[in-house]
């Protein structure tokens, strides 16, 4: 029987931890890396090493940032966004990923705080409340200065489940919960939209 390289197999196994990457896709990626010029592969290895040694997550909101850009407070690194004195401490926007924070903060006039969950609830993938960081949310709510929780989760099944779970969690805190609107995009025409999008937009209509 032909013996395969254990190092190549180890790389394939490591690549399968990436979302949406199965065994076959991981093998193709591994073979592509093997065929690439050595400097390209070494450059990728260097960049992967950098994110484990030079990147941290904010202890307040959870976004990723360079260690050199963190502000140390109580032996923890906080981002520049969270330590701004003009932020509205009564509001927290819940997102699924750090990328969502950057999008919202550059596209809106929102001035509250953020909290990034580690993805969505997905029991089939082994992601329950603890895995996505619900305890971090509870610790923020228990401080008692939050008046509104803004849910900025996706409309996928997992996103809806996460939104529902968070809503149920906040019942005991007497906090107003809102969710960002979904539906017809700016300059969108009804004739080009699917029925689910139109239905969601219609049901979430508001008075003018």
Q: Output the pTM of the full model.
A: 0.78
- Convert the pLDDT of each residue in 119-161 to its tens digit: 888 888 788 888 888 999 998 898 888 999 999 988 888 888 9
- Evaluate whether 42 touches 16 at the Cβ level (below 8 Å): no
Q: What does the DSSP assignment read for 29-93?
A: HHHHHHHS-HHHHHHHHHHHHHHHHSEEE-TTT--EEEGGG-EEETTEEE-TTTT-TTSEEEEEE
Structure tokens at 107: 């596209």
Phi, psi of 142 (to 5 degrees): -70, -15
Residues 6+ apart with CB under 8 A from 61: 79, 81, 82, 101, 113, 114, 115, 116
Domain with CATH 3.40.1360.10 in the chain: 86-203
CA quadruple 162, 156, 100, 56: dihedral positive or negative? Answer: positive
Class of domain 86-203: alpha beta
Phi, psi of 90 (to 5 degrees): -85, -5
What is the model's pLDDT at position 13?
Answer: 94
CA torsion angle for 114, 117, 120, 124 (degrees, to 10)? -170
- Convert the pLDDT of each residue in 15-59 to its tens digit: 998 888 999 999 999 999 988 878 888 999 999 999 988 888 888
Phi, psi of 106 (to 5 degrees): -95, -10
Question: Across the strands, what pairs with 92?
Answer: 113, 149
Quote the longest CA-to-CA distance of the chain: 73
Domain with CATH 1.10.8.420 in the chain: 6-53
Distance CA 164, CA 167 (A): 5
CATH 1.10.8.420 fits 6-53, yes or no: yes
Q: 9: pLDDT confidence band, cut at 50, 70 and 90?
A: very high
Residues 6+ apart with CB under 8 A from 22: 16
């Amino acid at each position: 029987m032909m013996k395969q390289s254990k190092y190549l197999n180890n790389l394939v196994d490591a690549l399968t931890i990436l979302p949406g990457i199965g065994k076959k896709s991981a093998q193709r990626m591994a073979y592509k890396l093997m065929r690439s010029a050595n400097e390209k592969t070494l450059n990728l290895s260097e960049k992967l090493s950098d994110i484990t040694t030079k990147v941290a997550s904010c202890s307040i909101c959870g976004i990723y940032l360079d260690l050199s850009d963190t502000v140390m407070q109580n032996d923890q690194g906080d981002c520049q966004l969270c330590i701004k004195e003009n932020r509205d401490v009564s509001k927290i926007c819940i997102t699924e990923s750090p990328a969502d924070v950057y999008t919202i903060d550059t596209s809106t006039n929102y001035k509250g705080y953020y909290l990034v969950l580690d993805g969505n609830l997905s029991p089939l993938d082994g992601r329950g409340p603890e895995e996505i960081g619900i305890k971090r949310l509870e610790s923020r709510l228990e401080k008692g200065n939050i008046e509104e929780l803004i849910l900025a989760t996706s409309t996928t099944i997992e996103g809806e489940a996460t939104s529902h779970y968070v809503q149920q969690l906040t019942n005991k805190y007497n906090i107003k919960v809102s969710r960002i609107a979904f539906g017809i995009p700016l300059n969108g025409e009804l004739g080009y939209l699917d029925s689910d999008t139109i239905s969601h937009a219609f049901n979430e209509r508001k008075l003018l």
